[in-house]
């Protein structure tokens, strides 16, 4: 079955540091890929997505590129802020079952001033 | 506009009891999804509806779990004979339609605790 594996956390960085959160996936078909973010006390919200190979999703300074050859969708940000502290989830939706999202276990990011 | 709402926000029940969890999707969204999230894990798919019908219920763990969406809007997740292992946050999401590129909008969740 489908699966998503995320870099284990927690991750602690200083403000303005570079962020990478690794995400790799296993899928039988050709999935769409997503990063969701959950800020403290809030619900899950979509951060960015990519629907085909080599697409780059971007939002709020975060980027991720759909790499089919390495089955990866790593999240990056050049300079993190304290307000980026949250839990980040990588997810996929298969093209063969468009209603079902498969999520990774989440990576907790803490950014210190 | 209003987002996805879920009620109650917290539910504490005793082992063996019956519970109902409600989800109000964003108006006009035809697809509705239920997930379960245990502490330290990502959301786990339970079921999704396209309109009134359950298009995929493969994630329901057993026959104690059932969900309905009779009018294609509000959905209720029903759990019979609750067990301590059912304790989790139950998330609902909706999207304009089902589809691999469609964004799912999540509600705040219902935290279920089974004593």
d(CA B110, CA B95): 19
d(CA B108, CA B27): 17
Contacts of A52 in chain B (CB under 8 A): none
Angle (nearest 5°) at CA B81 between B78 and B83 = 100
Interface probe with B: pick from A4, A43, A59, most Cβ of B within 10 Å: A43
**CB-based contact B21:B10 (threshold 8 Å):** no
**CB-based contact A79:A17 (threshold 8 Å):** yes
**pLDDT < 50 regions, chain A:** none
* Residue A87 neighbours by CB under 8 Å, 6+ apart: A37, A38, A106, A107, A108, A109
Within A1-113, strands assigned E span 3-6, 11-14, 19-21, 23-26, 32-38, 45-50, 56-59, 62-65, 75-77, 86-93, 101-103, 107-112
Please report the pLDDT score of residue B78 as a whole number. 98
Omega cis (within 30) before B111? no
Please report the pLDDT score of residue B16 as a whole number. 97
B positions 36-65 inside 8 Å of A (CB)? 40-45, 48, 50, 55-56, 58-59
* 3-class secondary structure, A101: strand
Please report the pLDDT score of residue B86 as a whole number. 97
| Confidence category of residue B75, pLDDT binned at 50, 70, 90 | very high
Please report the pLDDT score of residue B100 as a whole number. 66
DSSP 8-state class, residue B51: T
pLDDT beyond 70 at B1? no
Sign of the dihedral defined by the CA atoms of residues A45, A96, B79, B85, in that order: negative
Contacts of B50 in chain A (CB under 8 A): 99
Sign of the dihedral defined by the CA atoms of residues B74, B36, A101, B68, in that order: negative
**CB-based contact B19:B68 (threshold 8 Å):** no
* 3-class secondary structure, B31: strand
pLDDT beyond 70 at B91? yes
Please report the pLDDT score of residue B103 as a whole number. 84
Please report the pLDDT score of residue A99 as a whole number. 75
Q: Do A104 and B45 touch (CB under 8 A)?
A: no
Q: pLDDT tens digits, residue range B98-111?
A: 776 778 899 999 99
Q: pLDDT tens digits, residue range B20-62?
A: 999 999 999 999 999 999 988 999 999 999 989 888 899 999 9
């Amino acid at each position: 079955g489908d699966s998503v594996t995320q870099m284990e956390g927690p991750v602690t960085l200083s403000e303005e540091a570079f962020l990478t959160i690794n995400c790799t996936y296993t899928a039988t078909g050709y999935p769409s890929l997503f990063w969701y973010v959950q800020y403290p006390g809030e619900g899950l919200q979509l951060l960015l997505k990519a629907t085909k190979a080599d697409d780059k999703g971007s939002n709020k300074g975060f980027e991720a590129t759909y790499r089919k050859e390495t089955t990866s969708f790593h999240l990056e940000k050049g300079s993190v802020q304290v307000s980026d502290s949250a839990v980040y989830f990588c997810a996929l939706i298969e093209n063969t079952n468009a209603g079902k999202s498969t999520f990774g276990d989440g990576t907790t990011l803490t950014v210190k001033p | 506009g209003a987002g996805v709402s879920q009620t109650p926000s917290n539910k504490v029940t005793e082992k063996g009891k019956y519970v109902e969890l409600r989800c109000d999707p964003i108006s006009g969204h035809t697809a509705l999804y239920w997930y379960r999230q245990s502490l330290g894990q990502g959301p786990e798919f339970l079921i999704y509806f396209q309109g009134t019908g359950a298009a995929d219920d493969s994630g329901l763990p057993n026959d104690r779990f059932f969900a309905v969406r009779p009018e294609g809007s509000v959905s209720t997740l029903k759990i019979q004979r609750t067990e301590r292992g059912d304790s989790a946050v139950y998330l609902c999401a909706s999207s304009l339609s089902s589809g691999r590129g469609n964004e799912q909008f999540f509600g705040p969740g219902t935290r279920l605790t089974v004593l």
